[in-house]
Structure 1
Amino acid sequence: MTTELVRESKTKRWCAGAFSVVRKSPATVFLMLVVLIATAAIGGLANGVSDDVLAVVGIDLGDVSAAWWTVLVSAFFATSWLDALLALVVIAVGVGIAERIVGSTRAVTMFLVGQIVSSLALVALTAAGTAGNDSWLSYLGGEYVVGAYGGAAAALGAATASLESLWRHRLRTWLLAFSLMFVFYVGVAQTLQLLLGGVFGLLVGRLVGTGRRHATGKLFARPSLREARFLLATVVGVFAVGPLIAQFTDAFAVGPLSTVSSLMLAGRPDADELHEMCDADAACINLQSVVGVSSVGAVLLSLVPVILLLVCSEGLRRGRRLALWTALVINALIAIVVLGAVVVFLASPDLVGGNLELGFLAVYILPSVLVPAAIALLLFMHRGKFPVISRARAAKKLFRRTAMVGATLIFIYTLMWFVEGNLGRSNLGNLLAQLTHVLIPFPMPFVVVLPQGLVTTIIYGFGGAVLWLAFAVLAYKDLRLYTADSANAKEARTKVRELLQDGGGSLSWMSLWANNVYWFSEDGRNAIGYQVHNGVAVTIAGPFGAVDSQAQATRNFVSHCVEQGLIPCFYSVRSEVGEALDGLHFRALEVAEETLLNIEAMTFKGKEWQNVRTALNRAGKLGIQDHWYSYSAMPPGIRAQLAEISEEWVSEKSLPEMGFTLGGLDELKDAQVLCCVAVDGDGLVHGVTSWLPVYAERDISGWTLDFMRRRQEGFKGVMEFLIASAVTHFKEEVRTISLSGSPLANSGGSETDESGSVIEKVLTMLGNALEPMYGFKSLAAFKSRFQPEHQTLYLLYNDSLALPAIGLAITAAYLPALSARDSAGFLRQITAKGENKPAHD
């Protein structure tokens, strides 16, 4: 019965999800169904389409006039089930995104127009290439073409004009980068149609826009530093993946760079090549097939250059100088290796002269040299955009370990080369050539005699890949590290303490806590405390220091984050911070409600204060009094009891104490933090609260509640008693005190789009999972007993793509000591039911 209910529930969820897709993207779903039905009707999903049928529904690139309707009709057909799958993906991405941006009518219109225009442009291009005796375009000129590639790309390209600048730049960059990659590395007619459709859509978007508020007449406005890095990272990443695409499509790839895959990815040599490289030695041939260059493992490890370039792409996005020079050197090396292959090719006595060879050289060989060289030159020209250097210790560790691996490989290989008798079969020149192969994970443009012997064969086949894989792993770890600006942490905290007295918010004092780093304005009048996790700079509230320059400091901090390759995220800030960021495309999400008490007029009279009066009266009967200390001034017995109470509270939780905006026992030790302790006549501590100072113009203007603990067997109203005592204690000093915000107890409200809902769901899930252990929501309900005024606290972010990273960063900030065992307990708590035991019960 239970299984049937689960199946029924899954079916309902699936149906609801399918209905939601149809409701949001009806035109996209309709076009996909048309492609499926039309392809099935001509047999494309079963046995493939015959040439006769293809001649009816496909575009004849040699002569389209005989069947002019195919420039549009061809969009709805595919030649096989795999071709149909690719067409569905292209429609889902291109038309699907366009429909969500500009609506169904405009998306479909642009799809149809773009399909027609891209088809006609493709026919004209291949005709011109054929007339000019271009080998590539002449080859394409004899094909029949089907597919919705041009229309889908045009719809997406035109729709980008309606997006805000961040997404407009990124989608246009992706569209052109991926289109060019497929043209260069695959080169079939459909890839050209994809590129032509994309370019047409971008031009339409520039000329006429799409009627939305973000529409702009600029095709590519000058990108910001952050977007320039993103563009360069995309170029490096996309052209790193290109050789893989060419390898997978080797059976039909004809693009100008389709041959470069054999130079970046060391494929298995065929039987004749292996016979020559082994000098006809049968034992060598067998050994190479098992553990050498002809083994499956060696081919898989040849992907390391691609992996390394993808690591560099991520580092470029973060502005890292190490990634810049690594990517530059790799691309330059590829260009040199290809150039060497060209020289060997041209010097070959078997080369037959003629126009065919020159055309082949112009179309296929020169781009293989020029493209990686152009990428290297592009990176060099923009090297100033990548100023973020590695930590000195981390950089030394990276290069020292890589050098040790390389030196070890060279030593063992050279030693075993002699031990295994290679000198008798070869010479020292071959040893040097083999070492070149071991150290550089690219095939050499010259024939290398293979070593003979088990150890040398293994190192020859795997050594270079292992060396560069080790470098890639170490580099990836290095690129994820962040070097704080503050070299002297003690000096920085002293400066922060001074600035806090000039002015700050209710949570600003938390910037002094552990794990925080600091950014200081150039004039030294303002600072922001933050933590870096997963490449995200999560602030502790907003800026502090001189009030008149806090808004500018907020904007300057964003610039600092961009320069350092960090994603800025302002956490638990008031609306004033969002106003200071106006024009920088930041979005706001409610994450908490700060509770403020106007203690100047508070009397605890009236029905709504009944619980508080009861707690005060009961405390009086039990002889419990409030005692105020700094932690250092507490009697040793009181401190010992606080440690006992805190340890008891922590031991009940399945996770370690949280940090970030939640202080623990260590945070009480600050000399300027006040503690209110409830002690009875026998000296027994029933509960404790701590209060953080809030300054304005070097005078205390308020206090913020932080630490809350009560003895498990203490009297139940101790928290009401302690807060009421704080009201009385502070009334003569300040007008307002803050009970702080309850983290992760509130989300939503200000974000209505889907990007906002992503981070909202992450925070909600985190809050719900921690609720049984920390009681944030019940804590918020408890604070409402004091009739507070509410001040909304926000999370501000400006990059929707970074929402998952932001969610993980906030989790890491609150749970910095989360071990693998704690993580397992946390996951269990997500699904398990637990009793809520907040500190104030």
Structure 2
Amino acid sequence: MSTAVAFRGTLRGVAALRRLPLTLALAALLWLLGIATGSLLNGPSVDLLDQVGLGLAVEPGPWWSVFTSGFFASSLLDYVACTAAILLGVGIAERVMGPWLALAAFVAGSALSALVLVGLVTFGTDASDQWLSFLGGEYAVGAYGGAAAALGCSTAALDSLWRRRLRTWLLAATLMFALFVGVAQTLQALAGAVIGILAGWAIQSLALRRREGSFHSSSLRETRFLIGTVVGVFAVGPLLTQLTGTWEVGPLSVVSEVMLQASPDADEVQEACGNDRNCVTLQGIVGVQSFGAAILTLIPVLLLLVCAEGLRRGRRLAYRLTLVIQAYLAAVTVLSILQYVTDPEVTMGDDDFGYLLLYAVPAVLAPVIILTLLLGNRHKFRVESSDAGYRTLGRTSLTLAVAAVVLYIAFWFLEGNPGRSTLLDLAGQLTHILVPFPVPFVVALPQGLLSTVLYGLGGDIIWLCILVLVLNNFRRFRAIATDPAADLGHARELLHDGGGTLSWMTLWDNNQYWFTPDRRAGVAYQVHNGVALTVAGPIGATEHHGEAATGFLGHCSRLGLIPCFYSATDELDAALLPQGFRKLEVAEETLLNVQAMTFKGKDWQNVRTALNRADKLSIKDYWYHYRDMPPGIRAQLAEISEEWVADKALPEMGFTLGGLNELKDPEVLCCVAVDDDGLVHGVTSWLPVFSNSAISGWTLDFMRRRTTGFKGVMEFLIASAVTHFKEDVPSISLSGSPLANSGAGGDDGDHTSLDRVLALLGNALEPMYGFKSLAAFKSRFQPEHRTLYMYYPDPLALPAIGIAVGSAYLPGLSPTQSAGLLRQMVAKEPAA
């Protein structure tokens, strides 16, 4: 199966590439020229570079070099990187703008970015700038400027959300390479990105006559996104300089020295071990030259990336952690500079001052700028975790740290380290374990197996556990409702003013509530996987629903949640679609026009048969509120419900599917099929639908039948409801069948991933819950259909929303049940 899936994925990839002839042609031309000129392994020869490359340390070269330099690369690895840039940048541009415009953007971008690069080098040479006067070589070649320009220009044709995001990512990536690596190609890529984005803005404003689109609360969302991106770039940049350490010259390249743990070379380890062969071997296996040391180098990067994600979500914890980290990095950098400047053995010359201005000052300014940015926007990061989440994080982190300190001190003394090291060395070694960043002083290495193991791996274990705990903390929210009972009561009041056919489900357990400032309308929702999943649409008078929907978006934005309206009708189109939302069909609601139903004709044969059979068996329908039921009826309902649940491999579902507890609502009606012996054969429950304080309809919810009950009991109960409600309301709803037709349709093509998740979930649950057979059963009543939609803001959020929907319907899965459901979701055929 996995081979078939991989083969199908390969075929889809090949088919996608075949739709990009220009991109493939440019990539092929790059390689063909490299092969034809013998440039593939080590780049063009000097004679060829004189003709096709941009001269940096020499004359700029012939005029055509601004065009030809984009079709060569400096090495085999550079050819691979240029190919990736073309496939990404030109590929997206060709898909969005078409081949001819993409080609024009690539060629013009290559030429203009080359001219900018030459101008910068000329300026740097005249000003004796240590960076710009020498950018890693005498010539520059590469397709990066043209690819970045094509990608930046293509953003003009995207919708507002993707336009902002792609421009931000493009600028962030090229700026990171320019500042941390700093060779000529990175500056040309940055110039190409700026040129392309400016060209795209001009096309968007002048040719397409489109202004920058808006997204509700975009200021808050985009500010968080931008600051998170800045922190993420500052996290990845130092790692990039280590990976390209032989030729990076960027102004921030020295940041890696104060941020990432540096592994000592063989001579340093030999000296630290006093030429003890056993010590050197241990350090290579489990110490400072081991795999654990490489992991420890990645910890600061991972920690800052986790903080960047938390900042994007508006998390207060991520804000505090980032402040501490940036303040530490700034302080250590300043301390290192002072140490160097005040060293009596160092004589400061003009070159040294130039070096400090070029590399040391930016290394201090970078964390200071991030600190200023965070402090200036501190009010945008107020999303707190639950108190339990903070307690778990604090207790576990403290326990790990104390355990590491106690064990290390014990091993350190037991293995004879006091004779070789001092207590100051011990303190420094503990700092190495507890602080993931380099310490600004030299410490001796421990000797002995257990102390070396803990020295090399202790920090990894502690900080990887903390990272997992912090990520888990981001999933929790402090209780929003100050008075849940009052919120529930107000939600019930609003339901009497108005709501949809599914709105009574907002009173069920696990829901939170948000109300408009005037409290005339509200939204019920559940939080799963960072998604605020609503239960149907807004509640309250219909004229306030649009205001409630848009207001709820701002509420979610402040909390860093992804808003998602689930099982809502198209009444939300006017409020949500202009905000950039998309919609996906998730269910078909079945509506019965009870006043026009007579059960006559061939199409009603099944229903008439059920009514006749019930009459012969002396089975009658009785209508109760749960509190008014005879005790014997209640006991049998509990027995039938437990029998139904016990027959399922998974627990009873929730969210938009009620259980026995939901029957107990004083305003919910129950219809019970009982024979002359008092035996209950089946039961249905009906939720009220209000409009202007009067009942305007009823919605079917709870459906259970005794396994030994007469065949057709459900047809009998629904037919009884039609007769019972005919004189009071114009229509009733048989509700929707959740997950029964997920993926059946939609209004756009961006929801493929969620379609698959919902389809897999629906297929896995079908044998146990029978959603599709339930939908087929409801169709016997010749209903009218109304589509229920899921409104979502961002295609990138679809995987998270899919998981949230599954968690909402099955909130109490055990690990064993989760594993069984996962196996069923990926099985070729559903279980019987």
1:780 aligned to 2:775?
yes
1:331 aligned to 2:326?
yes
1:709 aligned to 2:704?
yes
Distance 1:364 1:16, change over 3 A: closer
Within 2, Cα distance between the matches of 1:547 and 1:245? Answer: 55
Instruction: Give the superposition deviation at 1:577.
Output: 1.9
Instruction: Give the superposition deviation at 1:239.
Output: 1.5
Instruction: Give the superposition deviation at 1:210.
Output: 7.8
1:499 aligned to 2:494?
yes
CA RMSD of aligned residues (A): 2.9
Per the alignment, residue 574 of structure 2 pairs with 579
Contact 2:148 2:170 in 1 (8 A): yes
Aligned with 2:675 (options 674, 677, 680): 680
Aligned with 2:608 (options 609, 613, 622): 613
1:74 aligned to 2:46?
no
Q: Deviations over 1:260-293 (max 9, x none)?
A: 2232221211244335545666665555444333
More displaced stretch, 557-566 vs 517-526 = 517-526
Aligned with 1:384 (options 372, 379, 390): 379
Within 1, Cα distance between the matches of 2:3 and 2:270? Answer: 59
Contact 1:654 1:826 in 2 (8 A): no
SS at match of 1:139: coil
Per the alignment, residue 510 of structure 1 pairs with 505
Within 2, Cα distance between the matches of 1:608 and 1:290? Answer: 78
Contact 1:305 1:468 in 2 (8 A): no
Within 2, Cα distance between the matches of 1:303 and 1:279? Answer: 29
Distance 1:15 1:64, change over 3 A: farther
Aligned with 1:730 (options 714, 725, 735): 725
Alignment of 1:436-515 (within 5 A): 436-515=431-510
SS at match of 1:258: coil
Aligned with 2:96 (options 96, 101, 104): 101
Aligned with 2:362 (options 359, 367, 382): 367
Instruction: Give the superposition deviation at 1:145.
Output: 1.9
Instruction: Give the superposition deviation at 1:16.
Output: 5.7
1:151 aligned to 2:146?
yes
What amino acid does structure 2 have at the position aligned with 1:22?
R
Within 2, Cα distance between the matches of 1:832 and 1:670? Answer: 42
Distance 1:737 1:443, change over 3 A: same
Contact 1:751 1:757 in 2 (8 A): no
Instruction: Give the superposition deviation at 1:536.
Output: 0.6
Count of residues paired in the alignment: 831
More displaced stretch, 547-556 vs 306-315 = 547-556
Per the alignment, residue 641 of structure 1 pairs with 636
SS at match of 1:721: helix
Alignment of 1:92-241 (within 5 A): 92-140=87-135, 142-209=137-204, 215-216=210-211, 223-241=218-236
Instruction: Give the superposition deviation at 1:420.
Output: 5.0
Contact 2:584 2:747 in 1 (8 A): no
Within 2, Cα distance between the matches of 1:401 and 1:40? Answer: 58
SS at match of 1:351: coil
Distance 1:494 1:141, change over 3 A: closer
Distance 1:120 1:811, change over 3 A: same
SS at match of 1:302: helix
Within 2, Cα distance between the matches of 1:383 and 1:776? Answer: 48
More displaced stretch, 794-803 vs 784-793 = 784-793
Per the alignment, residue 253 of structure 2 pairs with 258
The percent of aligned pairs where both chains have the same amino acid is 56
SS at match of 1:136: coil
More displaced stretch, 207-216 vs 119-128 = 207-216
SS at match of 1:67: coil
Distance 1:316 1:710, change over 3 A: same
Instruction: Give the superposition deviation at 1:766.
Output: 2.7
Q: Deviations over 1:489-541 (max 9, x none)?
A: 33432332232222211111111222222222233332211111111101000
SS at match of 2:822: helix
Contact 1:40 1:46 in 2 (8 A): no
Instruction: Give the superposition deviation at 1:727.
Output: 0.7
Contact 1:247 1:261 in 2 (8 A): yes
Aligned with 1:39 (options 31, 34, 57): 34
Instruction: Give the superposition deviation at 1:547.
Output: 3.4
Aligned with 1:768 (options 737, 741, 763): 763
Instruction: Give the superposition deviation at 1:791.
Output: 1.8
Distance 1:116 1:817, change over 3 A: same
Per the alignment, residue 296 of structure 2 pairs with 301
Contact 2:93 2:151 in 1 (8 A): yes
Per the alignment, residue 784 of structure 2 pairs with 789
Structure 1, unpaired ranges of 5+ = 837-841
1:799 aligned to 2:769?
no
Contact 2:292 2:460 in 1 (8 A): no
Distance 1:477 1:537, change over 3 A: same
Within 2, Cα distance between the matches of 1:258 and 1:723? Answer: 73
Per the alignment, residue 696 of structure 1 pairs with 691
1:531 aligned to 2:526?
yes
Within 2, Cα distance between the matches of 1:39 and 1:242? Answer: 30
More displaced stretch, 517-526 vs 409-418 = 409-418
Per the alignment, residue 559 of structure 1 pairs with 554
What amino acid does structure 1 have at the position aligned with 2:139?
Y
Distance 1:437 1:16, change over 3 A: closer
Distance 1:11 1:572, change over 3 A: closer
More displaced stretch, 560-569 vs 760-769 = 760-769
Contact 1:308 1:469 in 2 (8 A): no
Per the alignment, residue 839 of structure 1 pairs with none
Within 1, Cα distance between the matches of 2:414 and 2:484? Answer: 55
Within 2, Cα distance between the matches of 1:375 and 1:808? Answer: 34
Contact 2:178 2:186 in 1 (8 A): yes
Q: Deviations over 1:24-54 (max 9, x none)?
A: x332222222223223333444576544444
Contact 2:216 2:579 in 1 (8 A): no
Within 2, Cα distance between the matches of 1:392 and 1:823? Answer: 27
Q: Deviations over 1:73-110 (max 9, x none)?
A: 22222333322221122112211222222222212211
SS at match of 2:145: helix
Within 1, Cα distance between the matches of 2:4 and 2:739? Answer: 33
TM-score by length of 1: 0.92
Instruction: Give the superposition deviation at 1:691.
Output: 0.8
What amino acid does structure 2 have at the position aligned with 1:18?
V
1:19 aligned to 2:2?
no
Instruction: Give the superposition deviation at 1:796.
Output: 0.6
Within 2, Cα distance between the matches of 1:398 and 1:827? Answer: 29
Structure 2, unpaired ranges of 5+ = none
More displaced stretch, 443-452 vs 281-290 = 281-290
Within 2, Cα distance between the matches of 1:30 and 1:716? Answer: 67
What amino acid does structure 1 have at the position aligned with 2:176?
M
Q: Deviations over 1:401-441 (max 9, x none)?
A: 32333334344445555555555555444444444434322
TM-score by length of 2: 0.93
Q: Deviations over 1:712-760 (max 9, x none)?
A: 3433322211111001111222222111111223346874543233333
